[in-house]
């Protein structure tokens, strides 16, 4: 695939995932040679109520060279009357010529043109319109344009878009500071931020910055250029500068993290901030509530009222992901509250807080009718006991409460028996109520073998087995704690033959540290061999063996891991596993995935050669190998 095709494919995926700015819509994007997007200028402008269409034509040099961009002129659309737009649709804009940057996208160009039209003071054609149209080529890129009025703010907003860790941004750091100091009100940067005590956009709460931070400067510049009283400032900006306004706002407000430390979250104030700050309301997609560092969490932390979370979701209509990290919740779950939909809900609980991990989960999930992905990372140790009355409350909710429709469930847990059983009951009821909803599950066990047994019985014996299409299974340390008096046949609790629609299965080989020393690396071989040998999996089409490193070992692990795989003491286990893989039907694709094992690459043929030695039968039959880039 050509570079231009890969880039356009990525842009198209971003549009489908995140949408387009207000006033811009995709009309045609059937291939990678021509796209058409509609542009409508909102607000009280000269073009109020008019809609235009922009045509993009791409060559193989995109995005190194700019696309050919012009307004569509036909029976349905006309070119806007503007001093920089000719009647045949050609546009005289520096951003499409000598100021083009490969970092710009189709959406950024549309936002630029939209801003150009919004700042127009009078409707008129270029002085040489008739002469140019009579001689103009079909492709506007063949015209040699003469641009005027380019300003140095190009570098400023390009740099603002760059991530602070990006080496591209570093050479411009001093220029950003110098240009920012020229903007009116820089000395009031901290004061100009609406709600600085709410937003955690800069440093950690324990280390307040001595001066304006990078995010503060960006916010100030955007406010300065966007303020209705400063239209003259925006008019003085070049087109490239205007093009960076949209991605800069997106960079600034895409993810917001709220810390509370030992204090209560001020969620009502943050909801009001979303209502008053249009940029945050428009671009906020991921909201994180974080209680802070482990050592800072008090024993009696005030809970977050779910009604305050609901108010934030009402104000931030574009929020797609909500993350709650060690945040206790309060309030009564029930049908009385209006229910919402959300793409991704992530709940992480490390501490055994007074109200009980699971009850907090149920209180939050009761806000939603549909969750595309529910990610639960729960740690309630075996010694944990909820306070008096919590069990009765939990049992009442399990019997009468609601649970959302879920498409994908990611469960990392070491919860004890009553908690896991209650959660599984609710998920099963959700599957019955919303038929064919739960299609993908990722399971990671932190604790004992009972967790594994409970989960396996849940997916193999409940109604989930009729709907599940994808399963990723990481038993972790649970295999190593399997009691010696439990027969090997009990490994068959994961009876895959019961999963009627399972098409993709991922089995994890997780490098972890346990008290059993070096032998823990491939303890999964025996149970996986038993599982694969049980019965044929009629619907299975892909089996992925995912090798992961859950420790902090880096280079040392990379040097020794393949040697551990070749260790002669493990050869019988590998031979049995190889035989089980080789016996699988030919239509099942076997994938060895090493991409999550190391952050850097290895010799290109090292892993392949190792697999030739440890699983020769499967390798000869044919495998797919995924490995880190060299």
Catalytic center residues:
92
Q: Is 428 helix (H, G, I), strand (E, B) or coil?
A: helix
Residues with Cβ within 8 Å of 397's Cβ and at least 6 positions away in sequence, in order, are 333, 359, 362
Residue 143: count other Cβ atoms within 10 Å of its Cβ: 14
CB of 315 within 8 A of CB of 350? Answer: no
- Sign for the CA dihedral angle at 589, 592, 596, 600 comes to negative
What is the four-CA torsion angle of 545, 550, 555, 558, rounded to 10 degrees?
Answer: -20
How big is the chain, counted in residues? 630
114 burial (CB, 10 Å; 0-12 / 13-18 / 19+) is: buried
Residue 401 CA from chain centroid, whole number: 30
Query: Per-residue b/e over 253-268, b at no fewer than 16 CB within 10 Å?
Result: beebebbbbeeebbbe
Structure tokens at 239: 């087109």
Measured CA distances, 223 to 184, 229, 474 (Å): 11, 10, 48
Q: 392: helix, coil or strand?
A: helix
CA–CA distance, 627 with 369 (Å, rounded to integer): 39
Cβ contacts of 609 within 8 Å, gap of 6 or more: none
What span, in angstroms and rounded, lies between the C-alpha atoms of 228 and 367?
38
How many CA within 13 A on the CB side of residue 177? Answer: 7
| Placement of tokens 């050592």 in the chain | 295
How many Cβ atoms are within 10 Å of 6's Cβ, its own excluded? 11
Q: Are strands 504-511 and 34-40 parallel, antiparallel or unpaired?
A: unpaired
Taking a C-beta distance cutoff of 8 angstroms, is the pair 416, 424 a contact? no
- How many angstroms separate the CA atoms of 255 and 316, rounded? 12
3-state secondary structure of 75: coil
* Secondary structure letter of residue 408 according to DSSP: E
Tokens of 269: 């104030």
């Amino acid at each position: 695939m050509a570079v231009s095709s890969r880039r356009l494919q990525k842009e198209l995926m971003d549009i489908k995932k995140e949408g387009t700015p207000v006033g811009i819509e995709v009309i045609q994007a059937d291939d990678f040679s021509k796209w058409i997007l509609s542009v409508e200028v909102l607000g009280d402008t000269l073009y109020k109520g008019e809609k235009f269409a922009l045509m993009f034509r791409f060559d193989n040099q995109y995005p190194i060279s700019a696309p050919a961009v012009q307004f569509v002129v036909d029976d349905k659309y006309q070119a806007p009357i503007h001093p920089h737009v000719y009647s045949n649709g050609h546009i005289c804009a520096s951003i499409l010529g000598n100021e083009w940057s490969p970092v710009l996208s189709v959406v950024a160009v549309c936002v630029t043109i939209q801003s150009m039209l919004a700042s127009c003071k009078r409707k008129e054609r270029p002085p040489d319109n008739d002469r140019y149209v009579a001689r103009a080529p079909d492709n506007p890129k063949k015209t040699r344009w003469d641009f005027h009025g380019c300003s140095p703010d190009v570098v400023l907003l390009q740099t603002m878009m760059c991530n602070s860790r990006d080496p591209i941004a570093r050479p411009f750091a001093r220029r950003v500071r110098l240009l920012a100091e020229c903007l009116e009100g820089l000395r009031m940067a901290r004061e100009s931020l609406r709600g600085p005590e709410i937003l955690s956009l800069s440093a950690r709460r324990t280390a307040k910055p001595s001066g304006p931070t990078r995010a503060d400067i960006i916010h100030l510049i955007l406010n300065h250029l966007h303020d209705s009283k400063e239209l003259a400032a925006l008019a003085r900006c070049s087109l490239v500068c205007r093009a960076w306004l949209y991605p800069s706002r997106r960079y600034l407000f895409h993810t917001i993290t709220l810390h509370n430390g030992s204090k209560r979250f001020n969620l009502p104030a943050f909801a009001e901030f979303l209502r008053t700050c249009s940029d945050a309301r428009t671009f906020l997609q991921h909201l994180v509530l974080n209680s802070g560092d482990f050592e800072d969490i008090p024993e009696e932390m005030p809970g977050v009222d779910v009604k305050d979370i609901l108010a934030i979701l009402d104000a931030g209509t574009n929020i797609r992901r909500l993350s709650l990290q060690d945040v206790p919740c309060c309030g009564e779950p029930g049908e009385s509250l209006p229910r919402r939909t959300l793409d991704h809900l992530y709940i992480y609980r490390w501490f055994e807080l007074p109200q009980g991990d699971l009850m907090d989960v149920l209180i939050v999930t009761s806000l939603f009718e549909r969750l595309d992905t529910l990610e639960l990372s729960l740690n309630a140790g075996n010694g944990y006991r909820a306070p008096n009355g919590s069990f009765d409350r939990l049992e009442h909710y399990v019997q009468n409460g609601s649970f959302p429709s879920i498409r994908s469930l990611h469960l990392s847990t070491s919860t004890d028996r009553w908690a896991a059983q209650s959660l599984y009951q609710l998920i099963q009821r959700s599957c019955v109520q919303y038929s064919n909803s739960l299609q993908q599950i990722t399971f990671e066990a932190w604790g004992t073998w009972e967790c594994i047994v409970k989960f396996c019985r849940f997916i193999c014996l409940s109604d989930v087995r009729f709907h599940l299409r994808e399963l990723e299974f990481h038993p972790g340390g649970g295999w190593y704690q399997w009691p010696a008096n439990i027969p090997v046949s009990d490994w068959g609790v994961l009876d895959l033959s019961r999963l009627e629609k399972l098409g993709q299965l991922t089995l994890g080989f997780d490098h972890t540290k346990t008290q059993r020393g070096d032998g823990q690396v491939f303890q999964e071989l025996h149970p996986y061999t038993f599982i694969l040998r049980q019965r044929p999996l009629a619907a299975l089409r892909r089996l992925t063996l995912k090798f992961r490193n859950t420790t902090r070992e880096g280079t040392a692990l990379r040097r020794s891991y393949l040697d551990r795989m070749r260790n002669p003491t493990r050869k019988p286990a590998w031979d049995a596993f190889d035989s089980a893989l080789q016996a699988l039907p030919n239509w099942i694709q076997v994938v060895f995935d090493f991409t999550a094992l190391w952050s850097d690459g290895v010799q290109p043929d090292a892993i392949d050669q190792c697999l030739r030695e440890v699983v020769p039968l499967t390798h000869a039959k044919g495998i797919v190998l995924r490995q880190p880039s060299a």
